[in-house]
Amino acid sequence: MAVSEWVPAARVGDVAPGEGFLVEINGQPIAIWNVDGQLYATSDVCTHEETSLVDGDLWDNVIECPLHGAQFDVRTGEVLSLPAIFPLPTYEVKVEGDTIYVGWRDADH
Protein backbone atom coordinates (compact mmCIF):
# COMPACT_ATOMS: atom_id res chain seq x y z
CA MET A 1 0.00 0.00 0.00
CA ALA A 2 1.27 3.44 -0.86
CA VAL A 3 2.93 5.59 1.77
CA SER A 4 0.90 8.73 2.49
CA GLU A 5 3.64 10.59 4.31
CA TRP A 6 7.26 9.99 5.33
CA VAL A 7 7.38 11.09 8.95
CA PRO A 8 10.72 11.93 10.61
CA ALA A 9 10.55 9.71 13.67
CA ALA A 10 13.98 9.29 15.30
CA ARG A 11 17.73 9.69 14.93
CA VAL A 12 19.76 6.71 13.78
CA GLY A 13 21.62 6.70 17.11
CA ASP A 14 18.36 6.38 19.04
CA VAL A 15 17.85 2.76 18.00
CA ALA A 16 20.67 0.55 19.25
CA PRO A 17 21.31 -2.84 17.61
CA GLY A 18 19.11 -5.49 19.19
CA GLU A 19 16.75 -2.90 20.64
CA GLY A 20 13.41 -1.30 19.94
CA PHE A 21 12.65 2.40 20.20
CA LEU A 22 9.19 3.80 20.84
CA VAL A 23 7.94 6.80 18.88
CA GLU A 24 4.52 8.32 18.42
CA ILE A 25 3.28 9.14 14.95
CA ASN A 26 -0.09 10.80 14.43
CA GLY A 27 -1.07 9.64 17.91
CA GLN A 28 -0.11 5.99 17.28
CA PRO A 29 2.68 4.20 19.20
CA ILE A 30 5.16 2.79 16.69
CA ALA A 31 8.22 0.69 17.52
CA ILE A 32 11.37 1.00 15.43
CA TRP A 33 13.53 -2.13 15.66
CA ASN A 34 17.22 -2.54 14.92
CA VAL A 35 18.00 -6.08 13.75
CA ASP A 36 21.74 -6.25 13.07
CA GLY A 37 21.75 -2.71 11.70
CA GLN A 38 18.63 -3.19 9.60
CA LEU A 39 15.70 -1.04 10.71
CA TYR A 40 12.04 -2.12 10.78
CA ALA A 41 8.89 -0.50 12.15
CA THR A 42 5.75 -2.09 13.55
CA SER A 43 2.90 -1.08 15.76
CA ASP A 44 4.15 -1.10 19.37
CA VAL A 45 0.86 -2.58 20.56
CA CYS A 46 0.67 -6.35 21.07
CA THR A 47 -2.37 -7.65 19.22
CA HIS A 48 -3.28 -9.90 22.14
CA GLU A 49 -4.04 -7.46 24.98
CA GLU A 50 -2.44 -4.20 23.89
CA THR A 51 0.81 -4.27 25.86
CA SER A 52 3.77 -2.16 24.74
CA LEU A 53 6.18 -4.43 22.87
CA VAL A 54 9.33 -2.33 23.21
CA ASP A 55 9.37 -3.47 26.85
CA GLY A 56 9.78 -7.06 25.65
CA ASP A 57 12.89 -8.98 24.61
CA LEU A 58 14.14 -8.75 21.02
CA TRP A 59 16.44 -11.43 19.73
CA ASP A 60 17.36 -11.49 16.09
CA ASN A 61 14.10 -10.59 14.31
CA VAL A 62 11.75 -11.85 17.05
CA ILE A 63 10.05 -9.70 19.68
CA GLU A 64 8.49 -11.42 22.66
CA CYS A 65 5.62 -9.65 24.38
CA PRO A 66 6.48 -9.02 28.03
CA LEU A 67 2.98 -9.83 29.27
CA HIS A 68 2.06 -13.31 27.98
CA GLY A 69 4.95 -14.20 25.68
CA ALA A 70 3.44 -13.93 22.21
CA GLN A 71 6.16 -13.65 19.58
CA PHE A 72 6.18 -11.63 16.37
CA ASP A 73 8.59 -11.28 13.47
CA VAL A 74 9.39 -7.55 13.45
CA ARG A 75 10.31 -7.72 9.75
CA THR A 76 6.85 -8.84 8.65
CA GLY A 77 4.58 -8.50 11.70
CA GLU A 78 3.83 -12.24 11.46
CA VAL A 79 2.71 -14.03 14.63
CA LEU A 80 5.25 -16.71 15.57
CA SER A 81 3.77 -17.80 18.88
CA LEU A 82 0.42 -17.70 20.68
CA PRO A 83 -1.48 -16.26 22.50
CA ALA A 84 -1.57 -13.52 19.84
CA ILE A 85 -3.47 -14.43 16.70
CA PHE A 86 -3.39 -11.25 14.62
CA PRO A 87 -0.20 -9.91 13.01
CA LEU A 88 1.33 -6.54 13.82
CA PRO A 89 0.86 -3.70 11.36
CA THR A 90 4.21 -2.90 9.77
CA TYR A 91 5.57 0.29 8.26
CA GLU A 92 8.23 1.08 5.74
CA VAL A 93 11.39 2.72 7.03
CA LYS A 94 14.00 4.83 5.32
CA VAL A 95 17.08 6.69 6.51
CA GLU A 96 18.25 10.01 5.15
CA GLY A 97 21.33 11.45 6.76
CA ASP A 98 20.90 10.93 10.49
CA THR A 99 17.11 10.77 10.42
CA ILE A 100 14.86 7.70 10.42
CA TYR A 101 11.60 8.19 8.54
CA VAL A 102 8.54 5.98 8.93
CA GLY A 103 6.16 5.57 6.02
CA TRP A 104 2.70 6.45 7.25
CA ARG A 105 -0.35 5.11 5.39
CA ASP A 106 -3.59 6.94 6.07
CA ALA A 107 -5.61 3.99 4.84
CA ASP A 108 -4.46 1.87 7.80
CA HIS A 109 -5.85 4.17 10.46
Asked whether 16 and 104 are in contact (CB, 8 A), the reply is: no
Based on CB atoms, which residue is closest to ligand FES, 14 or 66?
A: 66
- 21-27 long-range contacts, CB within 8 A, separation 24+: 21/54, 22/52, 22/54, 23/102, 25/102, 25/104, 26/104, 26/109
Residues in 45-84 at the binding interface with ligand FES, rule: CB under 6 A: 46, 48-49, 51, 65, 67-70, 83-84
Amino acid at 26: N
Based on CB atoms, which residue is closest to ligand FES, 50 or 98?
A: 50
Based on CB atoms, which residue is closest to ligand FES, 49 or 98?
A: 49
Site residues (vs ligand FES, CB under 6 A): 46, 48-49, 51, 65, 67-70, 83-84
